[in-house]
Structure 1
Amino acid sequence: MASTLAVKERETLKPLEAVLRRLSDSSGFPTLSTTISDVNRVVSSDSSAQQITQVILRDVSLTTKLLQLVNSAVYGQFHGRIRTISRAVLILGCEAVRNATMTLMMLEFSKGRPQERSVQDELVGAFFAGVLSKALCAQLGMPNAEEAVICTMCQNLGKLLVTFFLYEESRKVRSLVEQGLLEEQAAEQVLGISYRNLGVGVARHWNFPDRLVEGMQRITADGMSAPTSDAENLRLAANLANDLYVTALRSSQEDKAAALEALRKRYGAAIKLDTKDLVAAVDQALKEVADCSTTVSLPIAGSSALHAVRVWTGGAVDEATSAQTDLAVAADPLMRDVAALDALENANEASAGAQHIISAGIRDVTEALTSDFALNDVLRMVLETMHRGFGFSRTMIYIRDARLNTMRARFGFGAEMERLIPLCEFPLAFAPDVFHVALEKSVDIVIEDANADHIARRIPEWFRQGVNTKSFLLLPIPIKGTAIGMLYADSERGAIKLSPEQLGSLRTLRSQVVLAFKHGAASGRL
């Protein structure tokens, strides 16, 4: 059996590679692919908390939407209390942040594409099915609800990708289906690979963990049995959610009871179902999708799929009224801001501006300092606040290494960080450069132009060779008269010029770092 599967995988490899090459030439796919691949890769790494934050911060839009999502009704228990990606990772965990990130990235499929209006319902339906899987997990006591959302959405990944990035091919597939061919067979005829195999292949290409890939697989009627592992639980939740969605979409009110009974019997060997629980899960999913549609920029107004599901449940059927309300909220900035404030406490970068990001970050750090915090968690929040709030190209923290008598960068955010961190180290023995002056005199230094005649000779060679940026700042971290570290930031976009308010905010962040070190030393956690 194993050898047969291996042969089948080899047979699908070449057409998969051909489709991947075509997808890579499509506008928008490389960015989507890189971000999801990187997020999946770093979640499994030892330093995933730092690295997943770094990956997300590369995309300003993704950062904003992720903070909105984790503070929305979907994660209602936090209600605006997560203001930095670092804190989101700390509170929710890397895997939950990974799942939320992938959901948001997948919802970006249709944005700006010429066929956007005609195929958005595919995306709305996939997202609804994902949210439905989460509601089912809650109703039926099934674990791993957040991962079930991803598996459910990704069961249709191959079809979604072709629809949004290879639209002409999707039309050819649809034409063959209209002529009577099964959709999977039609896709294989047009693309050389079925939608299902394409989705699994792309998931592996995107570094999906094995349990998520297995969770994407369809369950055949003869393969229905009680789950015995996390992956099988995910697979069951994803299949049940998609089948329940299709049932609600395609069966009439008159056929509703019979359709639900057929679904209950189909899954009876795997899980005990009550049709009332299934209907309750659909109702809950409709409510959650409506609640978070503005947050995730999902165009549910006028969705024929959601309208059909609402009619099936016997709920609101006046689509015209509900669509007008949805459109009013989407079009009216005041209404949109009021809705956002209910779920997100002034953390929208586009409307609140940089100073609000800084204030929110300071609040996140303050709350962390009053809890049982880890030093690195606080340092990440500070660096992220500097990175986002001030628009710096890079932020790093240097820590004194008493054993080696050096000052070296521990971690940071921004471009080429993995390359730069090992290069940013210098001996503590005094040299007449700006780094040692900042440390020895405990003075804050802002360099607007490192190449200026009176400054160039004060820039150390290790910095010229490694970082070589024209404008940067240094904020030493003093404890009992000795600098135990230093906050660093630079700008590739022009000279750093700070207002008194901005400098005050940076010094507040530095004071929080000092407190974190003091508390850590007092508790023996350093």
Structure 2
Amino acid sequence: CQLACMAHDVTERLAAGEGIRDRSLSLLLARFRDCVPFNGDRFGDVVQEARTEYRMLAEGLATPEGAPPAIRALSGLQHKDAATVERDDAIAAVALPGDDSEQPAVDQANPEPILLEGLQEATAILAEGADLNHVAQVVLETLYRAFGLRRVALCLRDAARRQYAGRLGFGSDIDLYLKRLHFDEDYARDVFHVALKQKTDVHIADLAVGGAGHGIPAWFNALSPNGALLFLPLIVQDHPVGCIVAEHERSGGLQLEPGTLRLVRALRNQLALGLQLRRNDRA
């Protein structure tokens, strides 16, 4: 999916600090020009409009009270793992592959059309300079619909309390779920802390057996004892700032082929730059 690849690659370059006139970014845009129609002359304006909207949303999401009650979504940037990073044994079996990894095809309902439609809608909204709250809603609703999730939620780092706390989400009993979705920032050898430290996306097909085999913390096992889990760390400037937790009610209910995973990551990256820009503004 060329649109997903372009959105993913461009967002990563911008979040890493490259300027819109840098040669490497110009070469990247030229590579996609034939298959993804866009106005190159308008690219700088679109980026500036998106950055303005990102600042507005990021400030609103800085505290739970500031977040719009109808908008329960946010994403972040996933940096690729360095080749020299060695994964802990506890996470190796459940860590998702990089975008270039090969996986066998799985016979299932295809979520990619819904993901692609949501990505196109979110990209168009940003390009038109519309309210970024709408983009946030599109991103989370797309994930929720595409996979038929039980719940999807965002945790953000609360520096004052030194913990990651549930802020926004969609799904079954979501308000109660968000109140109980929090864990300490201090490192522990469970799958959440290891994934955040190693910047690794994690898929656990069966939470009922994952509690013992993959380091699911006891508090989360009590909160969601069954189903399937997708855990997506949010990384800004090589530091974890939160995570996205997506649950399917059925074990094995989340099938993530390479193309599907690329679209999920591209959707997440539509909102990543906001957290990056907020940090830059405060530096």
- TM-score class, shorter: 0.5 to 0.7
2:153 maps to amino acid: M
1:378 aligns with 2:135: yes
517 and 504 in structure 1: CA distance in 2 versus 1, 3 angstrom threshold: same
Query: 1:220-268 CA distances to partner (integer Å, 9 max, x unpaired)?
Result: xxxxxxxxxxxxxxxxxxxxxxxxxxxxxxxxxxxxxxxxxxxxxxxxx
How far apart are 1:443 and its partner, in Å?
A: 0.4
How far apart are 1:47 and its partner, in Å?
A: 5.1
Alpha-carbon distance in structure 2 between the residues aligned to 1:47 and 1:478: 23
Counterpart mapping for 1:78-477 below 5 A: 354-370=111-127, 371=129, 373-374=131-132, 376-452=133-209, 455-456=212-213, 458-477=215-234
Alpha-carbon distance in structure 2 between the residues aligned to 1:394 and 1:442: 22
Q: CA RMSD in A?
A: 2.7
The aligned counterpart of 1:502 is 260
2:223 maps to amino acid: G
Q: Give the SS at the match of 2:138.
A: helix
2:119 maps to amino acid: I
453 and 464 in structure 1: CA distance in 2 versus 1, 3 angstrom threshold: closer
50 and 513 in structure 1: CA distance in 2 versus 1, 3 angstrom threshold: closer
Larger % of helix: which?
1
Unpaired runs of 5+ residues, structure 1, are: 1-45, 54-351
Q: Give the SS at the match of 1:451.
A: helix
Please say if residues 122 and 138 of structure 2, whose CA atoms lie closer than 8 Å, have aligned partners that are also in contact: yes
373 and 482 in structure 1: CA distance in 2 versus 1, 3 angstrom threshold: farther
Query: 1:314-366 CA distances to partner (integer Å, 9 max, x unpaired)?
Result: xxxxxxxxxxxxxxxxxxxxxxxxxxxxxxxxxxxxxx963222112112222
Alpha-carbon distance in structure 2 between the residues aligned to 1:453 and 1:394: 18
The aligned counterpart of 1:483 is 240
444 and 389 in structure 1: CA distance in 2 versus 1, 3 angstrom threshold: same
1:515 aligns with 2:270: no
Q: Give the SS at the match of 1:494.
A: coil
Max radius of gyration: which structure? 1
How far apart are 1:462 and its partner, in Å?
A: 1.5
Of 45, 49, 63, 2:70 maps to 49
Alpha-carbon distance in structure 2 between the residues aligned to 1:353 and 1:471: 17
Please say if residues 433 and 460 of structure 1, whose CA atoms lie closer than 8 Å, have aligned partners that are also in contact: yes
Q: Give the SS at the match of 1:49.
A: coil
Alpha-carbon distance in structure 2 between the residues aligned to 1:424 and 1:474: 13
1:355 maps to amino acid: E
Q: Give the SS at the match of 2:154.
A: strand
TM (norm. structure 2) is: 0.56
440 and 453 in structure 1: CA distance in 2 versus 1, 3 angstrom threshold: closer
TM (norm. structure 1) is: 0.31
Alpha-carbon distance in structure 2 between the residues aligned to 1:358 and 1:457: 28
1:514 maps to amino acid: A
Please say if residues 475 and 510 of structure 1, whose CA atoms lie closer than 8 Å, have aligned partners that are also in contact: no
How far apart are 1:521 and its partner, in Å?
A: 4.6
1:501 maps to amino acid: G
The aligned counterpart of 1:267 is none
Please say if residues 203 and 230 of structure 2, whose CA atoms lie closer than 8 Å, have aligned partners that are also in contact: yes
How far apart are 1:426 and its partner, in Å?
A: 0.3
The aligned counterpart of 1:493 is 250
Identity of matched residues, %: 30
47 and 372 in structure 1: CA distance in 2 versus 1, 3 angstrom threshold: closer
503 and 353 in structure 1: CA distance in 2 versus 1, 3 angstrom threshold: closer
Please say if residues 195 and 233 of structure 2, whose CA atoms lie closer than 8 Å, have aligned partners that are also in contact: yes
**Size of the alignment, in residue pairs?**
179
Alpha-carbon distance in structure 2 between the residues aligned to 1:522 and 1:472: 32
Alpha-carbon distance in structure 2 between the residues aligned to 1:443 and 1:498: 15
2:137 maps to amino acid: R
How far apart are 1:367 and its partner, in Å?
A: 2.8
429 and 377 in structure 1: CA distance in 2 versus 1, 3 angstrom threshold: farther
Please say if residues 450 and 456 of structure 1, whose CA atoms lie closer than 8 Å, have aligned partners that are also in contact: no
How far apart are 1:441 and its partner, in Å?
A: 0.5
Counterpart mapping for 1:3-14 below 5 A: none
